[in-house]
Structure 1
Amino acid sequence: MSDSRQLRVVAIGGGTGLSTLLRGLKRYTASPAGTTPAGDPACPDLPCLIRDLSAIVTVTDDGGSSGRLREDLNMLPPGDVRNCMVALSEDEHLLSRLFQHRFKHGDLNGHSFGNLFLAALTEISGDFAQAVQTSSQILATRGRIYPSTTENATISARMDDGSLVEGETNITASKQTIRELMLTPHDAAPLPETLDAIAAADLITLGPGSLYTSLITNLLVRGIPEAIAASQATRVYICNLMTQANESLGLSAAQHIEKILDHAGEQIFDYALINTAPIGGATLEQYAREGQTPITADLERIRKLGIEPITGNFLHEGDVLRHNYDRVAETVLNLALKR
């Protein structure tokens, strides 16, 4: 990457998928103190390609610690935002241990420190979005983090048997196939800063992440899909590696995209990043126990949607299967630099 341009990047999603991608993008982003990644001994040869990095994060979680805080304190769920803060922080190792620490006793049992930190800042500021920005400054994050909406939004899903399931936890636990996802209130609005970031972006990514509860959820917020469709940025969908129980079993890469476009109501992608590298047998057996299989790369069907597939080896096989965030970040940044 020898291009001297600096890009404005917007990454949209939720769950572990978004935080994984942000770890890769962070390495190309100047630190808040003004030093570039070239000063980082872990990546001495990386250019500072990103001048502005924004993460747009889903906030419909209603389970676990996030769900308890949402119910008890009438605040937005902090879990996915917390993961993004850790991923973008200057000293991720220390903050990961601190912010992901879960208490094991008493009334705090099950709560993570990071969630309580955001809850405290929300009470002090009276505004969740302001609490996120304040915490980002305290933690010296290499980027800005925006909740997709600051309204107390919930999701419901129409299933293939016609039933209506309400709430993210119930949706992910259902054994039925999701046909349509809905947001309440249906006119939930994004922050103005979110639309400004999308309008100014040179690169917009969606994914990886749970098809419905991490990705499509963001596109149900009024104005976000329209802003992506109108953007002159390079727009990239980063496809999951495996199908997911209760979200996308049996769906090919093209079918994932079709579901997203159906809910967005707009053409919001130029490219789709698809893994075509083989996955190890032991890993396949592990995921097969949950009925999960590698996502089929039906490239011609993707092209018929007006989207160019970008294929390659984007795997990182460890205890769990993840994207290789360095390889993904390099690939999407190169796509943006070609424009």
Structure 2
Amino acid sequence: MRKCGGSIGGSPADRMGGMELRELNIGCFGGGTGLPSLLGGLKSNPWLTLNAVVTMFDSGGSSGQLKDELGVLPPGDVLKCALALARNEGEARRVLLARLPTLEHHEKLGGHTGGNLLLSMMEQYSGDFLAAVDGLRGLLGCRGRVWPVTIERASICAEYQDGSLSEGEVEVDAEQLRGHQVKRLWLAPDASIHPTVADAIRGFDAVIIGPGSFFTSLMPPVLVRGVKEALAEVRGPVILIANLLTEGRGMSGFTAADAARWIEKAIGRPVDVVIANSEGPSPEVLARYAVEHKTPLEIGDLDSECQLVLGQFWRKDIARHDRRRLSFAVWSVLTDRLLRANPHSSRTSTLVV
């Protein structure tokens, strides 16, 4: 049986076919640059309590280096989400995303962001990554919670259509760019969700997945053991925000419907709503991305019971969802699915936001 958002029974709004507003507890899954952008747009909505459930399998850059050298969990994705939820996001980003110069006798510190070093130091001091993240949240005055999906060390592994294999976030991304199509994705070793995070997920009114690099930011969190079971207890809708572009030759022909099927297989329940872009930028901008073998993500053949919500979210030359428009689209879906007495039943909605 499909689980999707319903209405508040027994209230005057329910009896009169209206709406009764209440605070909604929302879980946002992903990582990279997509999840912080979504959080930054949603955090100004006073009716939303935000929770970022963040991928923990970064193997490149400053995060990967700190993981290898200090034995800490990769801090980068968690840091970016905390900054997006910070009371003063601009100032916090300016200070904590600045990279340290190479210093004499301290060469290993060079190139790392101040925020990555701070979070790693807090983890080593407390001995508990969840406590370190909560401490950073308090320091930044975050409007919402940031949950690392697991505190167990693991790597993303992929098998491709030609039978070849790769391990690590950076390597999986690189193989896609080279034209290898992902056939299977898993974590090695298996990683389990932290019980505190599982409890938090069970309390969500709805779940949002995306946007972000599909196989290295969106899929890994839902592959963690225990996430599927926690999501089964979420009564509200699962909402997938489709990416604007494919991600290299290995995703040629990949669609939003394919993304929904991958997610559904991992979580064991349907994707109820897909939010997708309806209009691209100028041909000149598209041509620039085409050189990198990145093309607009097509909708594809969605399940007949999955609601498609369309809007123009690509507003500038860079391929990034417009924060404000996306936040309004998400709020429209949430009010329709969770707050209206008679939820909208049409499969396709075209939003002008």
Name the TM-score class by shorter chain: 0.7 to 0.9
Q: In structure 1, what residue type is equivalent to 2:85?
A: L
Q: Is 1:208 paired with 2:211?
A: yes
Structure 2 counterpart of 1:177, one-letter code: Q
Counterparts in 2 of 1:148 and 1:268: CA distance versus 1, 3 Å: farther
- Which 4+ residue blocks in structure 1 deviate beyond 3 angstroms? none
What residue is the counterpart of 2:154 in the other structure? 153
Give the conservation status (yes or no) of the 8 Å contact 1:234–1:270.
yes
- Match for residue 224 of structure 2 among 221, 224, 233: 221
Residue 192 of structure 1 aligns with an amino acid whose one-letter code is P
| Residue type at the aligned position of 1:267 | R
Counterpart residue number, 1:337: 335
Question: What corresponds to 1:163 in structure 2?
Answer: 164
Alignment of 1:171-186 (within 5 A): 171-174=172-175, 175=178, 176-186=180-190
1:246-284 per-position Cα deviation (integer Å, ceiling 9, x unaligned) = 66332011112222223x051242100011123222220
Within-5 A mapping of 1:79-94:
79-94=76-91
**d(CA) in 2 for partners of 1:180 and 1:329?**
32
Q: Greater CA radius of gyration, 1 or 2?
A: 2
Q: Using the alignment, how far apart are the partners of 2:241 and 2:220 within structure 1?
A: 16
Distance in 1 separating the partners of 2:131 and 2:111: 25
Q: Is the 8 A contact 2:249 2:293 kept in 1?
A: no
- What SS does the aligned partner of 2:29 have? strand
Structure 1 residue corresponding to 2:36, chosen from 6, 14, 19: 19
The match for 1:104 among 101, 122, 130 is: 101
Q: Which residue in 2 is equivalent to 1:323?
A: 321
- Aligned residue number for residue 36 of structure 1: none
Do the aligned residues in 1 keep the contact of 2:53 with 2:149 (CA within 8 Å)?
Answer: yes
Give the TM-score, by structure 2 length: 0.85
* Higher RCO (C-alpha under 8 Å, 6+ residues apart): 2
CA distance in 1, matches of 2:250, 2:72: 26
In the alignment, structure 1 segments of 5+ residues that lack a partner are: 29-47
SS at match of 1:158: strand
Determine the C-alpha separation between the residues in 2 that align with 1:134 and 1:198.
Answer: 20
Deviation, structure 1 residue 61? 0.6
Instruction: Give, in whole Å, the separation in 1 of the partners of 2:114 and 2:284.
Output: 34
Pairwise CA RMSD of aligned residues?
Answer: 1.6
> What amino acid sits opposite 2:306 in the alignment?
I
Q: How does 1:169-318 map to 2 (within 5 A)?
A: 169-174=170-175, 175=178, 176-186=180-190, 188-245=191-248, 248-262=251-265, 264=266, 266-298=268-300, 301-304=301-304, 306-318=305-317
| 2:10 paired residue number | none
Distance change in 2, residues 1:105/1:59 (3 Å): same
Structure 2 CA distance for aligned equivalents of residues 95 and 328 of structure 1: 23
Partner SS state of residue 311, structure 1: strand
Q: What is the rounded CA distance, in whole Å, between the counterparts of 2:259 and 2:252 in structure 1?
A: 10
**Are residue 142 (structure 1) and residue 146 (structure 2) matched?**
no
Work out whether residues 249 and 294 of structure 2, in 8 Å CA contact, stay in contact via their aligned partners in 1.
Answer: no
User: What residue is the counterpart of 1:37 in the other structure?
Assistant: none
Question: TM-score, structure 1 length as denominator?
Answer: 0.88
Q: Is 1:60 matched with 2:62?
A: no
Q: 1:277 to 1:156 in 2, by over 3 A?
A: same
Higher mean Cα deviation, 143-152 or 321-330?
321-330
Alignment partner, residue 131 of structure 1? 132
SS of match in other structure, 2:150: coil
How far apart are 1:71 and its partner, in Å? 0.6
Count of residue pairs brought into register by the alignment: 312
Q: What one-letter code is carried by the residue in structure 2 that aligns with 1:309?
A: L
Following the alignment from structure 2 to structure 1, what is the Cα–Cα distance between the partners of residues 110 and 315? 32
Q: Kindly tell me: are residues 141 and 217 of structure 1, through their superposed partners in 2, closer, same or farther at Cα, counting changes over 3 Å? A: same
The one-letter code of the counterpart of 2:87 is: E
Query: For residue 302 of structure 1, what is the amino acid of its counterpart?
Result: L
From the superposition, tell whether residues 101 and 249 of structure 1 become closer, same or farther in structure 2 (CA, over 3 Å).
Answer: farther
Partner of 1:302: helix, strand, or coil? coil
Gaps of 5+ in 2: 1-18, 339-353
The 1:81–1:265 alpha-carbon spacing in structure 2 relative to 1, beyond 3 Å, is closer
Report if the CA contact (8 A) 1:173-1:246 is conserved. Answer: no
Change in Cα spacing, 1:192 to 1:246, as seen in structure 2 (3 Å) is farther
Separation (CA, whole Å) in 2 of partners of 1:234 and 1:171: 30
Q: After superposition, where does 1:22-33 map in structure 2 within 5 Å?
A: 22-28=39-45
Q: Name the structure 2 match of 1:121.
A: 122
